[in-house]
Amino acid sequence: MSERRLWVLKPGTISYADGLALQAEIADARRSDSVPDVLLLLEHWPVYTKGRRTEASELGMGEDWYRMQGIEVCEADRGGGVTYHGPGQLVGYPIIDLAHYDSDVRAHVARIEQTMLAALRDHSVPAQVFEGLTGVWTAGEPPIPSGEPGPQKQAVGAAALPGGEARKIGSIGIHVSRGITTHGLAINVNNDLQPFEWIVPCGIEAVRMSSLAREHGAEQDLDAFAETIVGRFGEIYGLAPAPVGIDAIRAASRRPG
């Protein structure tokens, strides 16, 4: 395709299973070059998703207990450990052909981090990443036991605060199949943080979670934040965003090559 576009699809709040099916459908269309790169932005109904490195101890209450709380437990083919998704959290699934980016998976993850950091900064939340710890964190020192050597800090937006105060505000986990990416990022905006307390998020024992609402002390405009993510994603990936519906994607997939 000669024009480097980014189709942006916002299906609202959907189940995790529906999200997986939608990603698979779009990934097939992207692989056949029927559609350009696509960014899915959505919310999920309450669910714990287990990445490829999830250990049983990360779900210490037992899966049946979580289901009794009204939270699904689902397998995911992304990397990383267990995490939580729920209403009020913005989930982004970039379905990207890495051939346009030298097939560099590490660079793809770094671009996702840059997108999240820039969007959070735009919404007055200083954020950072730590070498050796997944995801995006608020200002402060990393959440490691006192006296142990910590990962190096890469701060964005403000100087770090002492005392292990950094909280995780965003998660990253991706999957790549035949050059096409699925899964991606999740940023806590207005969602309930309690479900994170019942697990070991991303396999990090000392982790504490935050959200834009917690950082600002008031509920935030999730739609406005989603638009910021779209703009920053397009800028960092060098793509021109355009909103589409699923019908447009399916019509393009049916179109003869």
Give me the pLDDT at residue 62, please: 78
Identify the CA nearest to 36 among candidates 188, 180, 171, 185. Answer: 180
Give me the pLDDT at residue 83, please: 87
Helix H or strand E segment including 18? helix 16-31
Q: What is the mean pLDDT of the chain?
A: 87
With a cut of 80, say whether residue 156 has pLDDT above it. no
Give me the pLDDT at residue 17, please: 95
In degrees rounded to 5, what are phi and psi of residue 179?
85, -5
With a cut of 80, say whether residue 38 has pLDDT above it. yes
Q: 74 an active-site residue?
A: no
Give me the pLDDT at residue 45, please: 97
User: Which residue in the list 9, 35, 166, 202 is annotated as catalytic?
Assistant: 202
Beta bridge partner(s), residue 182: 175
Give me the pLDDT at residue 85, please: 96
Beta bridge partner(s), residue 154: 129
pLDDT tens figures, 52-66 = 777 777 777 877 888
In the sheet with 47-50, reading across from the earlier edge strand, the strands are: 72-75, 47-50, 82-85
Q: Please name each of the domains of the chain with its CATH number.
A: 5-115+168-254 (3.30.930.10)
* Structure-model confidence comparison of residues 117 and 57, the more confident one: 117
Give me the pLDDT at residue 86, please: 97
Task: Report the distance separating Cα 166 and Cα 11, nearest Å.
Answer: 32
Task: Report the distance separating Cα 147 and Cα 202, nearest Å.
Answer: 22
Look at the block and give the residue holding tokens 């779209």. 230
CA atoms within 13 A on the CB side of 157: 20
CB 3 within 8 A of CB 33: no
User: Mean pLDDT, to the nearest integer, of 91-99?
Assistant: 97
